[in-house]
Structure 1
Amino acid sequence: MAAINEALTDDELRSVLAKLESQRDKEVFGLVCKRWLHLQSTERKRLSARAGPHMLRKMAARFSRLHELDLSQSISRSFYPGVTDSDLSVIAHGFKCLTLLTLQNCKGVSDAGIIAIGSGLSSLESLDVSYCRKLTDKGLSAVAEGCSHLRALHLAGCKFITDVLLQALSKNCHSLQELGLQGCSNISDSGLSDLVNGCPQIKFLDINKCSNVGDIGVSSVSKACSSSLKTLKLLDCYKVGDESIISLAKFCKNLETLIIGGCRDISDSSIKLLAFSCQTSLKNLRMDWCLNITDSSLSCILAQCRSLEALDIGCCEEVTDAAFQGLNGAELELTLKVLKVSNCPKISVAGIGMVLEKCQSLEYLDVRSCPQITKGGCDEAGLQFPQSCKVNFTGSLGEPDVLL
């Protein structure tokens, strides 16, 4: 082994390591000798850990080229004291190559620790501090100012965030592509307008449960990010109505995922426009509790959106079997994999049969609380579900997260 170490340079050994495909083989590589272990450690790019300041310093010395660090805590099994501000200070000074940092559910973290991240990790491209509930505009604005290459920022559950942060992002982070603001109820239309003035490349925007956002904010996003926007989540944004959907239909031809569950003022007219505008791009559509939606717009969606893979019309009580009748004359098969029609009392076994005739790719069907649809009724009608399809009659099955 001494001869090999004398013959091969560090760069040549790194080339050998790079050709190993499995993680197990890479770990075994480090067991050969101290030199190989050191090289294996310096080449490691990703790490998930639970460690205090002392151990983090050791990790920083060993994994000097680390790009991705995940210190997230489990929601149900958090450990004490968890990640602290002093930990973040060590990370900011010890992991200078980091481009991705994940701190989900690290409830002990405050602005002081996040300010250290902003000042120390100028190469950071992705930060997830979802449910770090102590954070405010002060700490996260420091990240916006110090991490100008930021492409993804996830802040779900950070309820103290306001439009001030969106202004800071607009001013400093012009490459931002993903922004998660679920439950940040202090965000307003004004903040969204400011945001997209400086961040026109946004592909993914989650403003679920941002109850102060309305048509003005959504319309400003659709205009400024028209060529880039692919995912927009507006769950329970009750101020959002037809004006928002019309604007999306007019400007956002590449939209793939739209979540508008609970937006009760949205009606058939705007959904039809969306169906025609995004007929080749739209893959996922959630509009449960959109109480004004009827057969008219649903049949249009099914006829026009040939790439549709997931659809949720739960609690749309006016929808009937007639929405699916247009499928009988359709020449092409539906690409639908997930269909949720829970709490739709006017849909029957006959309607589901029409869907099945044109949809052999179905993987999950939710028919909970549909009084006309039972397992016995489906069996009696001789319905043939695709072999891999899970049918949720009673709520006993886990739900796919594609429409969350």
Structure 2
Amino acid sequence: MSLQQSSDVHVPSCRSCDKRLWSHVDVSRCSPLSNQVLAGIIKRQPASLDLVTGLSWSCLSALVSPTLPCLRLLDLRWCEGLKDAQIKEILTPPGLESSRSRLRNMVTLRLSGLDVSESTLRLLQRHMPQLQRLDLAHCKDITDSSISLLAAAGSHSRNNLTELTLAGCSELTDGCLSYLKRLSSLTLLDLRGCKSISRRACDAFISDLSHVALFCMMEENLIQRLD
């Protein structure tokens, strides 16, 4: 369900409360969006939730709830005040066992533009075993060391990640590609705008994986697997 932009966004009632209508909620074009409205959406238990870009933590704190739906998609791009500590609160809210996060079924997570670091990646490894698509574009604290966590032996992401967006991550260097080669299911790798990653290193990355699968350069530093 997509809620259209209006000056008075509200959660409909009556027949529109049917959970079948709320499996996919897109409020990315709704403004304003309040904590109260978001709390109402959470009660409908959607499977995916696209939020308004740039929301503040005062609104997003509604996600800190033991009744947070078991989302498969969550879009938090460019939300203000959302850092490692807030991600931890969302994943393991008060009153919920830390080993049983409500987001354990997450498949797609978009965190572009957030001040998140290795601390958040460790949380994702622990609480999102089914994660396949991860967007970390323009996350300024993501480093080569961060990527090593995603590719660590025994990690879920090493085997499950199919799409990884790292565009604009200014701290990444050619060295991160040695870790990225270990992501066995990777089909799309976006390194556009990573100024310290060279075209030569990307070409070598593609060449090194040629014995496993065919990859090509779709754009400068945008690598896609050919099925």
TM-score calculated relative to the size of structure 2: 0.78
1:238 to 1:279, Cα distance in 2 relative to 1, 3 A: farther
What amino acid maps onto 2:167 in structure 1? Answer: L
What amino acid maps onto 1:96 in structure 2? Answer: K
> Aligned residues: percent identity?
21
Choose the corresponding residue for 1:255, options 149, 167, 186: 186
Q: Which residue of 2 aligns with 1:106?
A: 30
> Deviation per CA, 1:85-121, whole angstroms, max 9, x where unpaired?
xx13749x82333211110132310222212322x12
Tell me whether 1:140 sits opposite 2:66 in the alignment: no
Mapped contact 1:280–1:307 kept (Cα < 8 A): no
**Structure 1: distance between partners of 2:132 and 2:119:** 20
**Structure 2: distance between partners of 1:89 and 1:156:** 25
What amino acid maps onto 1:174 in structure 2? Answer: R
Q: Which residue of 2 aligns with 1:198?
A: 127
Select the structure that is richer in helix.
Answer: 1
Secondary structure in 2 aligned to 1:235? coil
Mapped contact 1:279–1:307 kept (Cα < 8 A): no
Relative contact order, higher structure (CA 8 A, sep 6+): 2
What is the root-mean-square deviation of aligned Cα atoms in Å? 3.0
CA drift of 1:229 comes to: 0.6
Q: Which residue of 1 aligns with 2:74?
A: 153
Q: Which residue of 1 aligns with 2:3?
A: 71
> Deviation per CA, 1:124-144, whole angstroms, max 9, x where unpaired?
2100003152355512333xx
**Structure 1: distance between partners of 2:12 and 2:82:** 22
Q: Any stretches of 5+ residues in structure 2 without a counterpart? A: 93-100
> What are the within-5 Å matches in structure 2 for residues 277-296 of structure 1?
277=209, 281=213
**Structure 2: distance between partners of 1:214 and 1:278:** 26
Choose the corresponding residue for 1:130, options 52, 55, 74: 52
**Structure 1: distance between partners of 2:209 and 2:4:** 40
**Structure 2: distance between partners of 1:220 and 1:111:** 33
Q: Which residue of 1 aligns with 2:107?
A: 177
1:154 to 1:313, Cα distance in 2 relative to 1, 3 A: closer
**Structure 1: distance between partners of 2:212 and 2:87:** 32
Aligned pair count?
A: 209
CA drift of 1:280 comes to: 5.1
Mapped contact 1:107–1:134 kept (Cα < 8 A): no
TM-score calculated relative to the size of structure 1: 0.46
CA drift of 1:310 comes to: 1.9
Larger Rg: 1
Which portions of structure 1, spanning 4 or more consecutive aligned residues, are displaced by more than 6 angstroms?
A: none
